[in-house]
Structure formats: structure tokens, C-alpha cells
Structure 1
């Protein structure tokens, strides 16, 4: 199975640039009700993921930082505690499944490391569930 089948393209997902502010990331996450979003650089390369926890720890550990003050702090100055590994668009299903065990989504990059989208863990689980059901049905026949 080609993993491109599962790809949610960059144009359909929420992400942020590494030079955006904490406030911009917080607002996107709140609006879309996400707990983590991918980060890219100005050239479109994947650089990591920012989570609610990362942002909350920065607020907690920065004296006198208010929510309004988050508009002055770039995401690149926020310590990220989650490492989210990528897969190449040419990766196989086994590689994808191994990463999805520990990540809610798997960022997908092209051969130059340019971020092209994500594959959601829920889509992989649905695919595997369908395979199991089909196998069960085939065994009943």
C-alpha cells in the first residue's frame, strides 16, 4: 500500500511557521481544537511540532508572561519537548505504522525535506481495522 493514499495535504491542515508568535500558535490551536500542530521554516521544511504543553510550560516558566505577552515571543524561543519523526512520501506502511504508535500524526516530507502534509493515526487505525474485518470475513467463507 502506498502511504500517499493516507496523506492529508498541507493545504488542508493547520500548521505554523517557526517565526510565528506563541499567540498565533495558541489562537490556531484553540480555534481548531488541536493539542499539537506541525512547524515549518520559511522554506517550507518541517522543523518539528509545537504542543499545548510546550506553550503552557513557557508561560509558567517565564516571569510575568501574560497571554497578551505571548504575542512578543516567537515559537522558535519555546522549548519543544516532543519529537515528532517524519516519513518520506516514498516510505512503506511498516515505517508509517511504527511511527504512528507514538504520534497522533506523522508528518510527511518530500525528498528535499519539504513538508507536504500529515498522516493521521486514526486513518491508519481505520485502515488496519478494515483489513482485519476483511480477513475475518474471508476466513468465514
Structure 2
């Protein structure tokens, strides 16, 4: 999957400008927890969130003993989270995963030009597809000490038995058998035979349908 395939373009977004008042920004955020902030040249400046507004109010109150009403008339630019990681259309979709665990959406830019965002729901849906979450299947968690040749042995086993692979996702586990493979196959009466064949092929079958 490419980033452009799951991009919500800037034309479909509610945007905040740094010279707007905090009051006006909060009105825009009535249905949003956070929004992108861009300047008059359509360049991405950062993210405004309800949390960043609250933290800015704490600072404002301590520094000036200011009232909430005075705070609301301040420019929203003081509440922008500016140190925000960004991606471009040239990045791989999987590059969004680490970022989306830290901020509510991934800003996509071309140079300095703001193109849009990848939403958390886009990443969740893509992972659901990759892990075949909504496909009826048998689930096998495998351990293997090395990757070289592992997939060939695994697919040879499924092919010999005529078992259809739904998805196959490798990942590290940080243990002696430090490579894990999540294998999902179509429901089959040959599941037990597949488990035996995989064990003979050098896999540790950690879990079946767990």
C-alpha cells in the first residue's frame, strides 16, 4: 500500500491558521481532538490539540496570572506543537506506524507544501488487512532461529498439502528463537498434518488458534 492511497487531502480537512484566536480554534475543534495548523503559504506548521491548548493555558496563567477569557483571545500559534515528524508521498506506508503511536495523525508534505494526513484509522485498517483480521482462518504462531530459507520451507509445506495461505507476517521476538512468523491459512482438515510438517521443517509451533 502507498501513502497516496490512504491520504486524506488538505481540501477535505479542517485547518487552523496560527493568527486565529484560541477561541476560534476551539470552535473549529468542537468535533476534533486535534487539527493541523498551516500558514498562509499552505506550509505545515504543526498540530494543535486540546491538550496543547490546556498546557498553553497553564503556562499563560502561571506567567501572567491571566484569566481564561484573556487566554481565549490569544493567537492559537502559541499552542502549536511544532516538532512533529512528517512524511512525504515517497515514504512507504509502514513508515506511518511508528509515528501514529505518538501523534493522532501523520502529516504528509511535499517539500514544505502540506498535502494532507494519514489518519490513525487508515493505519488500523491497513494492519487489519495485513493480519487478515476479518478472514476466517487457522492461526499459527511459529518460531524459527533464522529467516534464510524459512519462507521457502514454510510455503513448500503448505503447497504440498494444498493449504491456502491467507497471510504471513514475520517479526522479531527478542528470544533465542528470535524470529516469529504469524501464519494464517484457510480452514482445512489438514491443519494437524501441516503442524507436523512445519515442525519437521525446523519450525517451532508455538501456538495454534490461540
Do the two structures share a fold, i.e. TM-score over 0.5?
yes
Q: Residue 76 of structure 1 aligns with which residue?
A: 77
Query: Is the deviation greater in 131-140 or in 82-91?
Result: 131-140
What is the CA deviation profile of residues 7-50 of structure 1, one whole-angstrom value per residue up to 9, with x for unaligned ones?
011111112011211111111111x2x11111111111111111
Contact 1:15-1:40 at 8 Å conserved across structures: yes
Displacement, 1:125?
0.9
What is the CA deviation profile of residues 101-122 of structure 1, one whole-angstrom value per residue up to 9, with x for unaligned ones?
2222101111x21111110011
Contact 1:59-1:65 at 8 Å conserved across structures: no
Which of the pair is proportionally richer in strand? 2
- Structural mapping, 1:111-122, within 5 Å: 112-122=111-121
Runs of 4+ in 1 over 4 A off after TM superposition: 134-137
2 CA distance for matches of 1:57 and 1:3? 32
Q: Residue 128 of structure 1 aligns with which residue?
A: 127
Equivalenced residues, count: 136
Higher RCO (CA < 8 A, seq sep 6+): 1
Which of the pair is proportionally richer in helix? 1
1 CA distance for matches of 2:120 and 2:46? 17
What is the CA deviation profile of residues 111-140 of structure 1, one whole-angstrom value per residue up to 9, with x for unaligned ones?
x21111110011111111122116956221
Contact 1:88-1:109 at 8 Å conserved across structures: yes
SS at match of 1:115: strand
Which of these two proteins has the greater Rg computed from alpha carbons?
A: 2
Q: Residue 7 of structure 1 aligns with which residue?
A: 7
C-alpha RMSD of the superposition: 2.2
The reply on whether 1:140 has 2:186 as its aligned counterpart is yes
1:38 equivalent among 36, 39, 42: 36
Q: Residue 145 of structure 2 aligns with which residue?
A: none
Unaligned runs of 5+ in 1: none
2 CA distance for matches of 1:84 and 1:10? 17
The alignment's TM-score, normalised by the length of structure 1, stands at 0.83
What is the CA deviation profile of residues 71-116 of structure 1, one whole-angstrom value per residue up to 9, with x for unaligned ones?
2x11223364x74311112111221222122222101111x21111
